[in-house]
Structure 1
Amino acid sequence: MSIYDIKVTTIDGEETTIEKYKGKVLLVVNTASKCGFTPQYEGLEALYQSLGNEDFEILGFPSNQFNEEPGSNEDIKSFCQLNYGVTFPLFEKVDVRGKNVHPLFAHLTEKAPFRGWDLSDEVQKKFHDINAERYPEFVEGGSIKWNFTKFLIDRKGNVVQRFDSWVEPEDIADSIRKLI
């Protein structure tokens, strides 16, 4: 299956497919409004403003799988616009791992699985330990480990790179520029 065949629903309830973005470089991000990484919305919007044009899109997919996105789709949209001025496309809340994983995130994690923990890194150790305590079935393996995991997709729909939660948006700008 091509990434372009995957059906998605916008935060306003409009059904579409990723094909709408065919030919563009994409950054797909799982997001949350009540997470320590939530300020990354600001960095994502800055990326979108500086690089976003007809060649690049950021697609935000809220998820409550880490219990940090409890609001409705309407609440999420309002929060993002009021607090971070988000103008990039947002989609309805989805599961990003587990038995009800959205097909987009199943595809992304299959093509760019988690590469493992660097337990000498304080931030990664913290999230390893949180996952081990709360979500032991997801500590290992290729799944998403937390909110604000980012997937970079080239113009042909290939998943090029995965950036985990602790990688700030500004730190991936060069990777995006190389594909635009």
Structure 2
Amino acid sequence: MKIHAVFKSFSRAIAVLNCVQISAALAQNTPDTHETGPKSCPELLQHSYRKLHSKQQIDLCELYQGKAMLIVNTASHCGFTKQFGGLEQLNQDYKDRGLVIVGFASDSFNQESADELESFGICYGNYGVTFTMLAATDVKGANANPTFVELSKLSQAPSWNFNKYLVSADGLSVQHFGSMTKPDSDKFRQAIDSALAQ
């Protein structure tokens, strides 16, 4: 009887030890729920828009993915249209460092071509744009698209074409730069460098 009791106690001890080892192994393979997960997409980017001269829908959150984003309202027949060249240079200089540029074509200031093919040709043909360009939407007023509604709340509404909004990687801050700020200005590039360093 004593031998049986000892054996029974030993068996229980082995079972308990196995449970402890299994629990420890599971704990090592289970993600810590207190760790910070993937950065969530800010509200102003939780929208999809049609790509310029295309049927493709662009999901801004998919472009964002926790990166700093530069949003610009553009027009194809504006005195500032040549800034497309500077914006493309920014794209080439910073895309591998985590900057995403998105152009919102707009006729809110009556200088966007009614012919989408012409707009496409100006952006991609004349200036060699490779960053994402979206089909024309309103960027101010009662019919402003939801992204620019939020941008206006967080900073200010665009006063003209080629206003620039630098959205931080965490989506919590927006810096506004007017049309007169050239893409190659030192001040502007310093702001981008700071946003990427956060």
Task: Indicate the TM-score class for this superposition, using the shorter chain for normalisation.
Answer: 0.7 to 0.9
**1:3-152 equivalences in 2 (<5 Å):** 3-11=44-52, 12-20=54-62, 21-53=64-96, 55-113=98-156, 143-152=157-166
1:176 CA displacement: 0.6
With over 3 angstroms needed to count, the CA separation of the structure-2 counterparts of 1:8 and 1:28, relative to structure 1, is same
Preserved CA contact (<8 Å) 1:61 1:92: yes
Partner Cα distance (1:63, 1:176) in 2: 24
What are the Cα deviations for residues 65-111 of structure 1, in whole angstroms up to 9, with x where unaligned?
11111233332122111111111100010101111100010011110
Partner Cα distance (1:3, 1:157) in 2: 9
With over 3 angstroms needed to count, the CA separation of the structure-2 counterparts of 1:13 and 1:54, relative to structure 1, is farther
Unaligned runs of 5+ in 2: 1-41
Runs ≥4 in structure 1, deviation > 6 angstroms?
none
**Same amino acid, percent of matched pairs:** 34
Unaligned runs of 5+ in 1: 114-142
Partner Cα distance (1:45, 1:170) in 2: 10
1:77 is paired with a residue whose SS is helix
Q: Which has the higher contact order (CA 8 A, sep 6+)?
A: 1
Report whether the alignment pairs 1:175 with 2:191. yes
Partner Cα distance (1:73, 1:110) in 2: 29
Partner Cα distance (1:94, 1:157) in 2: 22
1:54 CA displacement: 6.1
Map of 1:118 onto structure 2: none
Question: What's the Cα RMSD here?
Answer: 1.5
Q: Which has the larger radius of gyration?
A: 2
What are the Cα deviations for residues 99-154 of structure 1, in whole angstroms up to 9, with x where unaligned?
110001001111012xxxxxxxxxxxxxxxxxxxxxxxxxxxxx211000000011
1:6 CA displacement: 2.1
Query: What TM-score comes out, normalization by structure 2 length?
Result: 0.72
Map of 2:14 onto structure 1: none
Partner Cα distance (1:159, 1:97) in 2: 20
Aligned-partner residue type, residue 19 of structure 1: C
Preserved CA contact (<8 Å) 1:13 1:92: no
How many matched pairs? 151
Query: What TM-score comes out, normalization by structure 1 length?
Result: 0.78
Preserved CA contact (<8 Å) 1:24 1:56: yes
Partner Cα distance (1:71, 1:52) in 2: 30
Partner Cα distance (1:111, 1:19) in 2: 18
